[in-house]
Every structure is written in C-alpha cells, then in structure tokens.
Structure 1
Amino acid sequence: LLSLLGILQLLAATVAVYKQWIPNTNFETASNWDKGRVPCARDVVHFEKDKVVSVFVGSPHALTDMYLPLNGEFLLAAGAAFTAFDGSWDPGCDTGGTVRFADAEQRSWFDPTLWRDVLPSGELRPGGPIFSVHEERVPCRHDDVIFQPETSFRVNTDSAQPVIHLRSISVMGQELNTPSSWAGYLGGPSAPLQFHGNGTLQVTGTGCPDKSGCACGNALDGPRICAALLRAPGRQCPEPACQSPLQPLGHCCGVCGATINLEFTPHFDLQKYQDKLVQELLSQPKYAGVQMAMSKVHRAQTFLGTVSRGATPLIQIVLIDDRAGAQAGSAAEQLAADIMQDIAQHGEALGISSGKMEVATGSTASGQVGSHPASRITAGSVMGLLFSLLFLGGILFLYRKGKLRLPALRPQHPWERMEDPEPPAPASDKGFDNPVFSVEPPDVDLAEVASKDLQVFYLNPLYNASETET
C-alpha cells in the first residue's frame, strides 16, 4: 500500500497542467462582430475577402445578404444553416445594416490573458493561494492544451523558437496526444485555417519525467509574452508600493513581497513540497491574502557580470500579498522567514541543500538572507582565485608563444666559487694642469737672496723684469 501511495504521489507531481484557449471565432459570439451583436435577418454580413477565417455556426440564421472570404471554412453544427431573409417580421431586428466580422489575426499564442487553467474536464480550476508567473500562464512544454468543443478559433503562433512542444492538444472534443495523431490533424483542411505563424506546434505525448519539476520552456518568448500582456490599452503593470520591487524570473511586472531561490538534491519533490507549504503555512489565518508561485527555473550564470556561463536549475518561490501602503509585502515577508526557518531545520530531509531569500516591502528596501552561509565560499575568495588563475594562465600562454623568456635558474654548488675581481690600482695624485703657469721656477737659492737683499718677492709669469729696465 505504501509503495502504491508513493507511485501515486510521483504521478501527481508529473501530471501536466490543462490550459484552455479563451477566445473563439464562433458566428454566435457577439464580440466577434464590429457592431457588438450577432447579425440578424435584415443585416448584410461582410467577411473580408483577403482574411482567412474558420467559423463555427451553431444554429440556423436568416440573412439579407452575406459576402464570403476567398479562403476559409464554416463548421456547421447539427441543424445549423444559412437562409435568405423572406421579409417577414423579425423581433429585435427592426433596422438592418452591414455587420463585419472582426479580425482575429492578432490573437497571439503567447498572450497570457487569452489562456486559463482548467480541470481535465474543461471546468475552470478553483481559485486558491497558488498563482503562476506570466511565462507559465501560457502553455508550457509538458502541458495539455484544450480548445473548447464546438468552437472555432484562429491563433498566431509566431515564436522565438521554431518548435513549440506540448503534451497534448484537444480540438473539437478530440484529444490528440501522440505525434502521429497530431501530424494527421495538421494534414487536414482545418489546421492551416486555425494556426498560422512561424512557430510549429508539436505534440510529444510525454509529461514532465522529473519529480523535482521541469522548466516551463517559454523563456525565449518572455519578451513576446510581456509585450502581448501590456500591448492593449489599460493593461499596465500595477504601481508597486515598495521602493525596490522584486523581479521574479518569468514575471513581467515588479512585485512587493518575497522570493526564495532553492538549490535542491535529486531527492527533492516539487509537488510534495508545495503541498506541504500550503497545508502547514499558507492555510494559517495570519497568511490570508498571501499567494505563492513555485516552479523550476534556470538562472543564467555570468562571469564578471557579462559573459554567460550557462544556467543553473533552481526552485523559485514567489510570495505576494494583498496588503497596501507601508504594509505591502509584509505578510509575504513573514511567510518567507517561516519557510527559511523550516528549511534550516528540515531542508536536508526535504532534498533542499540551500536557500536564498530576497524581500521588498512598503516600509523596507530589498535585502537578501542566505540559509546556509557556512557552506558557501565568499565572493572575494572566489574572485581572488579566478584572478590568480588568469594571471598564471596568461604567463604560461606568453611563454609558450615565445613572447616571454624566463631566466634560467641554476643552483650554485658549494665547490663553485666566483673569483674575486682584482682591486683597482690606486690613482696617482697628479693634481691638475694650469696652462697659464708653465714657467719653470728660477734656479735661485731663495734663502740666500732673502738674506742678502732682505726682500720678499714672488714670481709673476706674466711680468718680465728685463722689459722694464731701461
């Protein structure tokens, strides 16, 4: 029994989400006409001749006239038909006019407002504390897509990726969950009228095989999703009450509250952990109005903030609340703190190796708290090691290229001695030469002269005594 329960839990973790396309191109849908009403008997119905349409008709209609497109189809339900108006009285149609079919070309597959989560039966999934970031409101690669029975549609599948993978697609009440069945439908007459664009839909028939969850797969089309979300008038991100709103991965708008990024082990079970948080924490009265989104994401790794080094899988938890003003995000912050405390106590048993929390509320700026700081190497040490490796690698590269020569170091043996250099010979003190005074002193005994004439004199080489005698 326990093993069966474990298998059921594993299956529950890997069951795909059902997403239903909301708009249609039915003849009886009032919003599909420029007058905002379904054509009546006195009206002239006009389809643009150069527009491709697929229109489901669920009931009979009498019309004054109808202009058809060059390329399109009308899917008639049992009993549905078009007849010419015979001029009899038609209640609610006293005056007629020209009614034009609205353009459905711009309805994008990646517009999150055109999808809703439903149960496998097609009924709307009940609301609760769980929500999805914007990228995951569009069908993910392991989701089931439902187009409502007895409806027609036209979807623009332009995408940044050539192939859009899905688990299954249901059209006209028929589920297509194998590659061959979907290929057969694409070869029929309706598919080219219902799907157009450069993205090709592909059915795989497989759900997420990993109990830790699977990334949605819409990251490449994230800009397209946000553009579609905010394109229409009145669709704008709400002004956050916090100073530094958080920007969760996959979400188009900044939020007040908290985010938690979890690093996990192979034992982590996403669905089981989400159920635990809902039952033990989110169900508490103090957390009324708090919503949570949890999914696997891939956060890009960078080197020095610029060069991508691949992506690391993480479990992202986004917490928001309905508080306003200075209290905005405060309940979500408290819930995040409780989750971090629970991780510190039971993280290893849950398959969580570490967690990092970031908060932004109406009264505080954003900040981060790590759950396992002791197990992490500081950023400074890592950067120092990287710079050292780069420096040594640069020296080795220059040496091998011949751009750098290293001195040859040879150890000196004890018996090898360097000869002492000979001391320089002492220089003789020759004084300096005076070119002016070059006369040899007279050969005279100065002592004798001094004693004889009692005169003291000195020799002046510029003065010749013989020239003064007359």
Structure 2
Amino acid sequence: MWFFKQRSPRSSLGPSQINRMPKTQDLCLLFCLVAGTNACYKQWIPDTNYENESNWNTGVVPCGNDQVQFPAHRKVSVYVETTHSVQELRLPVGGEFILNSGAGFYVGGGQEPGCGAGAKAQFKDSDSLQWWDPALWRAAASLDDLEEGRPLFSVHEESVPCWYDDVIFRASSSFRVDTTSRKPDVPVKSVSVLGRMFNRKAEFSQYLRSRSGRLQFHGSSTVSVGGSGCADPSGCECGNSANRERICATVTCPPLTCKKPLRPEGHCCYVCGVLITIQYATGFNLQAYKQRLQNLFLVDQAYKSVQLAMSKVSKPQYVLRMVPFGVSATIQVVILDGETGSEAGTVAEKLAWAILNDAHSQGSNLGISEAELEASSGSSSANGPGVGAGAVTGAVFGILILVALVSIGAFLVHKGFVQIPKIPMPSMPSVPSLRSSKKDGHIGDLGGPLDLGFDNPMFDKPSMLPAMPTLYNAELKNSISMTQTGVHFVNPVYDENETDFSV
C-alpha cells in the first residue's frame, strides 16, 4: 500500500531556528575541540527526492507529458518538494510520499508546453546503497562546512560514521540505506532525520519502527544512538575495523606511479604521500594539534593542494622491526597532495618534514614523545624527542625474552624434563686403511708383485708403434730404471757424477 504523508510544519526549520543555528554550530565546534573527537558530522549524500534528476533513468525530472513509474516490488520513501504534473503515475505495492507543504501531483493530460513528446520515466532502485560505502558520506567539522563544501579528508574506515559521530540526513530529503553489518548494532552518537535529531535510544528505536523508519533504514543491523562521544583529549579510535571488508569492497583504488606506495591504517588503497606516526604522552590533545598544523602550515599557499588526515589508530609493534609483539595506540598523520606522475607526493613530503621538525623542537610542550616519517619516495626517518626510544626498548625487550627462553630450556634439559632427541649421523662410506690396502693391494711388501696400473699399449708394447730411430734405443732405455718400489725416470740433463754432496 502506498502512503502520502504531509510533512508536519514542526519538522521544518522556522526563521527563529535558522537564526539560532550558527550559535549551535559554534557550540558544537567548540565541543569538538575540547572533547577531542575526530569529526563532528557525517552527512549521507544520496537521497530519494522526487526533484533529484539523478534518481530518474531519463536524467531529468518528469514533466506533465511523461509516464511516471516506480519499481513494482521495491520499497522506497520519496520526498516531494513542490507540485508536479504527470500524464500517468504508477506506484509500487509499498512505499510513501513525504510531501512538503503545498507539494502534490495532478494529471496534466499530456499537453504541457515545452515538455516534449513524453517518455516513460522510471525511479531508480536505491536498495543497493550501503551504509559502509565511503563514497556516500561527507565529513565536516560543522554544519557550515557541510553547506559550503569544506569536507574533511580521512581514511576509508573513518569516512563512514564512527561510534562518536553525529549522523546527518538532510532535512528536506528522504533516503534508503542498507545498514547490514558484521555486528547487530551500528553505534553512533546521534542521527538527524527530516530536521529532527535523535540522541536517545528509546526515541530513535520508536522512529525505526515507524513506516518511514522501516522504509529509510533496512538491513540486518540496527543503527543505535545515545553515545557520549569521545571524551579522550588524545582522540578515540573509530571502531570500524570489523567492517573493513565491507568498506573496501566498495572502493576502487587508482593506479600509482610513486616509488614506494604506502598503505595507511584504516585505508583500503595504497597512496603516494607521507605517513607520520606519532607516539604521544600525557598532555597531548589531538584537536589542539590539528589546529596547530592548520595555523602553522596548511594556511600556506604552497600547501593548498595538500590533504591531511589525523586520527588515533592501533598499529602492530615489532621487535627489531621484524618480530611482532602486540599493538599500541598511536597518532597517524596521512598527507597527500594533488601532484601526479613523478611529482606525486613531493609537496606532501616537504610538508611532512616541516611537521617533523616542529615535533622535534616542540614535542615536549605538545605531548609528543616520538615521531617517525615514511614517504612514498622511499625516504624515512625517526625524529622527535626520545628518538629511537621505542626501537631500543623493543630490542632490549626481545633480547631479554630470548635469554629467558634459552635459560628455561637449559634448566628443563638439565633436570630431565625435556630430552634432546638424538640426531642419527648419516652413514659414511667405509675407507680402507693403509694396513688393509697393503694386504689386499698389488704393491705389497718388498718382493711382492708390482702394481703397474692400467695397460698402456704404447708403453708396454713398442713393437706396435712405427719404427722410430731413437725412441727405444739403448740410451733411452738406460734413462728408465725399475725398482721394487716403482718406476723412476732419469733426468738426462742432470749428471750425478758432476755433483757430490758427500762431505
């Protein structure tokens, strides 16, 4: 059944409310800076408005000569801003029109001037729009920033609402979103629908059970509100890592040309830019540090193309950069720029070194104990107060663990609790001894048979060779002597009678 619902005047913003809104935004912005939240607002971008051209297959809003059709078996909540003329209107089995004051439909008879010959305009299906698609959200620090197009850059996991965020669905619009998650609940701080903000669980649960709520929110998980927001000055982790696969399944990564692409924590793609990892101490304030970087560096026109995201993340820790031994919370700074080709990341790296030098000189005042830089150009550096302390501590910790394990193993072996298995030695081929060689060989003792080796027909049988005058003459035969120990060749150049070594 299709319902036409007239929007209540109380749900729209009156002049007095509009005049008070800037003060509300200023208070929210101040609260964000004090409480340390990473973003104040996450706004849903798509809508199911009748006047939105992108919601129609024709690319234009239907006019009086068109036949308007909605998917027969789809559920949708459509917001109608003004009055529209149609030739024919076909509605699905279930759904609703939310009519603004004075909005409605009438049949024009297909004679509206300037409308053309008429077409079949079909409303697009919105069931496939997912809560976990980063491209469907816009983040900003205030409502003014949302309206004026000053969005915040963040990694993919933080582009969708975190548990401490205020979620905004535009006042003069309706929507349909699939909230299916790996968990039964999708926690956020508050949700604003049709100009009404819900920050109490009971009130929002009642709205979700209404007809509009069931049409706008669907899926196996339920959006829940009522969180207190992030009260940690050093920031809070977003908490969307459990749905990382859902988030990244909607992301298409661009091709890269840099030497060493980097992948930030919480991001689905490798990037050309710089990562700064900050180890913080007592007194560190995330929002105050963001404001410092904004005032010191980002106001410079040289960095106008730079995108900077800063948040608290959990990163694995390694002993000697190889052996993992746990995770710890750190501050991750992601810096990208608009450069392309071989210049991609160069401006970001220049800014990163300036930030690192600032952390080195002012870290003790800012609550920064260590800062490390890694660039897509391949360069990296550890800097800041206490530089290398983490690496030294990890190395010492790893050596102590290794010594303890060796000591425990030696103790267990000594007490007989653990036996070292005997390793069989590979069998070696037997080598006959010299004594056995003498017994079995042909050389033998003095007077035994002589081992002549292999037969040499040329040496043993000179008669087989052609006759050569001096090859086997008497002089040559006298230069060769045979004894019981072998064959000896006499050097004809040496004359034993010429040299006498006897005393």
**How high is the TM-score relative to the length of structure 1?**
0.74
Deviation track 1:73-117 (CA, whole Å, cap 9, x = no partner) reads 111222222333435x20233322322211101111111221113
CA 197–301 in structure 1, closer or farther in 2 if over 3 Å, else same: farther
What root-mean-square deviation, in Å, do the aligned CA atoms of Structure 1 and Structure 2 show?
Answer: 3.0
- Alpha-carbon distance in structure 2 between the residues aligned to 1:251 and 1:388: 38
Unaligned runs of 5+ in 1: 1-6, 231-235, 406-470
1:148 to 153, 165, 170: 170
CA contact 2:32–2:39 (8 Å) conserved in 1: no
CA 204–266 in structure 1, closer or farther in 2 if over 3 Å, else same: farther
Residue 305 of structure 1, CA deviation: 9.3
Which amino acid counterpart does residue 11 of structure 1 have in structure 2? Answer: V
1:345 to 341, 361, 364: 361
1:77-156 equivalent positions in 2, closer than 5 A: 77-87=100-110, 89-118=111-140, 120-121=142-143, 124=146, 131-156=153-178
Match of 1:159 in 2: 181
**Is 1:64 aligned to 2:87, yes or no?**
yes
Match of 2:41 in 1: 18
CA 337–58 in structure 1, closer or farther in 2 if over 3 Å, else same: closer
SS of 1:117's equivalent in the other structure is strand
CA 130–218 in structure 1, closer or farther in 2 if over 3 Å, else same: same
Match of 1:389 in 2: 404
1:357 to 365, 369, 373: 373
CA contact 1:165–1:202 (8 Å) conserved in 2: yes
Match of 2:73 in 1: 50
SS of 2:36's equivalent in the other structure is helix
Which amino acid counterpart does residue 258 of structure 1 have in structure 2? Answer: V
SS of 1:140's equivalent in the other structure is coil
Residue 16 of structure 1, CA deviation: 4.6
Match of 2:315 in 1: 299
**Is 1:211 aligned to 2:230, yes or no?**
no
Match of 1:38 in 2: 61
**Is 1:375 aligned to 2:397, yes or no?**
no
CA 393–55 in structure 1, closer or farther in 2 if over 3 Å, else same: farther
Deviation track 1:218-253 (CA, whole Å, cap 9, x = no partner) reads 2222232222122xxxxx41x333111111112222
Unaligned runs of 5+ in 2: 1-29, 421-503
CA 253–348 in structure 1, closer or farther in 2 if over 3 Å, else same: same
Deviation track 1:106-145 (CA, whole Å, cap 9, x = no partner) reads 1111112211134644652656796222222211211111
CA 306–41 in structure 1, closer or farther in 2 if over 3 Å, else same: farther
Deviation track 1:357-401 (CA, whole Å, cap 9, x = no partner) reads 11123xxx2434344345232665444333333344456678899
Residue 268 of structure 1, CA deviation: 0.5
Residue 30 of structure 1, CA deviation: 1.7
CA contact 2:182–2:242 (8 Å) conserved in 1: yes
1:208-247 equivalent positions in 2, closer than 5 A: 208-230=230-252, 236-237=253-254, 239-247=255-263
CA contact 2:310–2:332 (8 Å) conserved in 1: yes
Deviation track 1:306-338 (CA, whole Å, cap 9, x = no partner) reads 997653111001122233444332232232222
CA contact 1:16–1:207 (8 Å) conserved in 2: no
- The alignment of Structure 1 onto Structure 2 pairs a total of residues equal to 389
What's the % identity of the aligned pairs? 40
CA 399–110 in structure 1, closer or farther in 2 if over 3 Å, else same: farther
- Alpha-carbon distance in structure 2 between the residues aligned to 1:189 and 1:205: 25
CA contact 1:61–1:81 (8 Å) conserved in 2: yes
CA contact 1:39–1:99 (8 Å) conserved in 2: yes
Match of 2:21 in 1: none
Match of 1:465 in 2: none
SS of 1:229's equivalent in the other structure is coil
Q: Bigger shift: 120-129 or 216-225?
A: 120-129
Residue 266 of structure 1, CA deviation: 2.7
Match of 1:181 in 2: 203
Which amino acid counterpart does residue 82 of structure 1 have in structure 2? Answer: F
CA contact 1:129–1:290 (8 Å) conserved in 2: no
2:96 to 32, 51, 73: 73
- Alpha-carbon distance in structure 2 between the residues aligned to 1:400 and 1:93: 96
CA contact 1:359–1:368 (8 Å) conserved in 2: no
SS of 2:312's equivalent in the other structure is strand
CA contact 1:301–1:310 (8 Å) conserved in 2: yes
CA contact 1:163–1:199 (8 Å) conserved in 2: yes
CA contact 1:118–1:125 (8 Å) conserved in 2: no
Residue 163 of structure 1, CA deviation: 1.6
Deviation track 1:249-297 (CA, whole Å, cap 9, x = no partner) reads 1222222221111111131001111111221233345444333211111
CA 256–205 in structure 1, closer or farther in 2 if over 3 Å, else same: same
- Alpha-carbon distance in structure 1 between the residues aligned to 2:150 and 2:307: 8
SS of 2:250's equivalent in the other structure is helix
Which amino acid counterpart does residue 99 of structure 2 have in structure 1? Answer: L
CA contact 1:119–1:125 (8 Å) conserved in 2: no
- Alpha-carbon distance in structure 2 between the residues aligned to 1:181 and 1:129: 29
CA 278–15 in structure 1, closer or farther in 2 if over 3 Å, else same: closer
SS of 1:145's equivalent in the other structure is strand
Residue 155 of structure 1, CA deviation: 0.4
- Alpha-carbon distance in structure 1 between the residues aligned to 2:381 and 2:292: 24
Match of 1:266 in 2: 282
CA contact 1:347–1:353 (8 Å) conserved in 2: yes
CA 335–304 in structure 1, closer or farther in 2 if over 3 Å, else same: closer
Which has the larger Rg? 1
- Alpha-carbon distance in structure 2 between the residues aligned to 1:16 and 1:178: 20
- Alpha-carbon distance in structure 1 between the residues aligned to 2:287 and 2:296: 14
Which amino acid counterpart does residue 164 of structure 2 have in structure 1? Answer: H
Which amino acid counterpart does residue 113 of structure 1 have in structure 2? Answer: A
